[in-house]
A = this chain, B = another copy of it.
Amino acid sequence: MMSVEEARATILARFTPLGSELVSLLAASGRVLAQEVVAREDLPPFANSAMDGYAVRAGATDGAAADRRVRLRLSGEVPAGSVYLGTLDAGAAIRILTGAPMPAGADAVIQQELTRSADDWVEVEAEVTPGTNVREAGSDVQQGTVVLRSGIEIGPAEIALLAALGIDPVSVARRPRVALLATGDELVPASDPLLPGQIHDSNAPHLNAAVALAGAEPWPLGIARDRADDLRAHLRAAAGADLILTTGGVSVGTYDLVKDILAEQGNVEFWRVRMRPGKPLAFGMLGNTPLLGLPGNPVSTAVTFELFGRPAIRRMLGCSELLRPEVEVELAGEPLERADRRHFVRARLASRAGQLVATPTGPQGSHIITSLVGASALIVVTEGSGVVRPGDHVPALLLDQAHWEAS
């Protein structure tokens, strides 16, 4: 049997980044950045006021207090979006609004609440030091700084930063097109009624969502029957995909036609990987298109997609991190048995007094779909390890965060 690392390395070696395209910032969320972002200007671009109030020379407020107001001459106003064209005199104040550029000669802002004003003067009732309520140019980002690296995922915060730096459109990785094909005579689409012996296909809908969350464009091709002609036709329909994902048909049964067809049409290998759920896996090239054959049990499909499919998609996207974050957690609940194959146990996360605790989601059989629901992590029980007991520390892969128990 192959190790998980060996299987993944062999798969990843066949993928490279696909290239980039420009998108508007309004369409950039969830995409992967395909350029290094260097600030072309300071952020903020100019020194500006953090408050509504009066721009002054700090020295002019020396000795001011609530019972000893200092009176300054009001010599103008600078709203946000405008520039004060003159220079502030020592004994003067300029009305300034939040975000407006500091006038030349001013080095501090005294906030409105600490002042009284009339037509042509303002009284200040507190001292300010130079820099008070001033946001210096470049205090967030200095021109020339690398602010974002290629390969990161773009979320709201990155979009805010790109917008502030005037970068719109932005270069993002082209989304890989991932063809999805479920195989099996027993499968019926979720919307159809069951006849005896049939089950609803859950793998194609599952992968359709998981592939999109991984950053790719899913391309569902339906269900192929266990007949050579039907399977061939479905695989032909996948021409043009960047990756074909199949489910089912990779284990030892006589009816596992997938193997024969793949062997006939391409250079696809069949592996046994030292993992649970999972184990049977197919990978290779169908013409120029990589094909990853996942096992048909729903939980096996989900876990092998996580471990092999998602990293392949992320390599095509040029992601700097291909894998899920792996963190140390404390096991709660029942002991986990030692296994010959690496066991990926679906679990819920919680923080108890600051300790990261993972509780398995219940029975872990490869057909128990409910074990996937509510899982925010995969506990990794290394092959050959002893029994893991509640309170023991184990590594866990963090899945998309949806289900945390509150403290």
Which residues from chain A sit less than 8 Å from chain B, CB to CB?
Answer: 24-26, 28-29, 41, 43-46, 50, 52, 79-83, 95, 97-101, 112-113, 135, 139-141, 147-148, 153, 155-169, 184-187, 189-194, 196-210, 212-213, 220, 226, 251-255, 296-298, 302, 325-330, 350-356, 363, 365-370, 372-375, 393, 395, 398, 400-402, 404-407
On whether the beta carbons of B255 and A164 are closer than 8 Å, the reply is no
Take A29-B209, A251-B52, A327-B351 as given contacts and tell me if A157 and B373 are in contact as well, using a CB distance cutoff of 8 Å.
Answer: yes
Known: A25-B190, A372-B157. A398 touches B393 (CB 8 A): no
CB pair B186–A163 under 8 Å, yes or no, is no
A97 and B52 CA atoms in complex are apart in Å by 75
Most buried by B among A159, A163, A210: A163
**Bound complex: CA of A46 vs CA of B186, how far in Å?**
12
Kindly name the residue among A113, A329, A401 whose own CB sees the greatest number of chain B CB atoms within 10 A: A401
Q: Contact between A52 and B189 (Cβ–Cβ < 8 Å)?
A: no
Asked if A356 and B367 make an inter-chain contact with CB atoms under 8 angstroms apart, the answer reads: no
Establish whether residues B325 and A156, one from each chain, have CB atoms under 8 Å apart when the complex forms. no
Q: Give chain B nearest CB distance to A134 CB in angstroms.
A: 11
**Also in contact, A398 and B407, with CB within 8 A (given A190-B25, A200-B164, A296-B98):** no
| Contact in complex: B164, A199 (CB < 8 Å) | yes
Q: Tell me the minimal C-beta distance from A205 to chain B in angstroms.
A: 4
| Distance (whole angstroms) from the CB of A137 to the closest CB of chain B | 11
Whether A354 lies near B393 (C-beta < 8 A) is yes
Pair A82/B193 contact, Cβ less than 8 Å: no
Partner of A168, one of B101, B198, B205: B205
Query: Which listed residue (B99, B159, B252, B330) contacts A186, Cβ 8 A?
Result: B99
Question: Nearest CB to that of A189 among chain B residues?
Answer: B168
B161, B210, B406: the one contacting A202 at CB < 8 Å is B161
- Min CB distance A38 to B, Å, is 14
Q: Nearest B residue to A346 by beta-carbon distance?
A: B157
Give which listed residue, B45, B160, B191, B251, contacts A298 with CB less than 8 A.
B160
* CB < 8 Å neighbour of A52 from B101, B156, B253, B327: B253
CB atoms of A325 and B373 under 8 A apart: no
- In contact, B375 and A206 (Cβ under 8 angstroms): no
Task: Give Cα distance in the complex from A255 to B251, angstroms.
Answer: 71
Name the B residues within 8 Å of A189 (CB-CB): 168
Contact among B50, B168, B297 with A190 in the assembled complex (CB-CB below 8 Å): B168
Cβ contacts under 8 Å, A100 to chain B = 186, 197
Q: A155–B400 contact, CB under 8 A? A: yes
Q: Which 7 A-B pairs have the closest CB atoms?
A: A81-B185, A401-B401, A81-B186, A327-B351, A168-B190, A157-B372, A29-B209
A-B contact pairs, 26 of them (CB 8 A): A26-B208, A79-B253, A81-B184, A81-B187, A97-B253, A98-B297, A99-B186, A99-B296, A101-B196, A139-B367, A140-B365, A140-B368, A140-B369, A158-B373, A159-B206, A159-B208, A161-B370, A163-B200, A164-B190, A166-B193, A166-B194, A326-B407, A327-B351, A328-B407, A355-B356, A398-B401
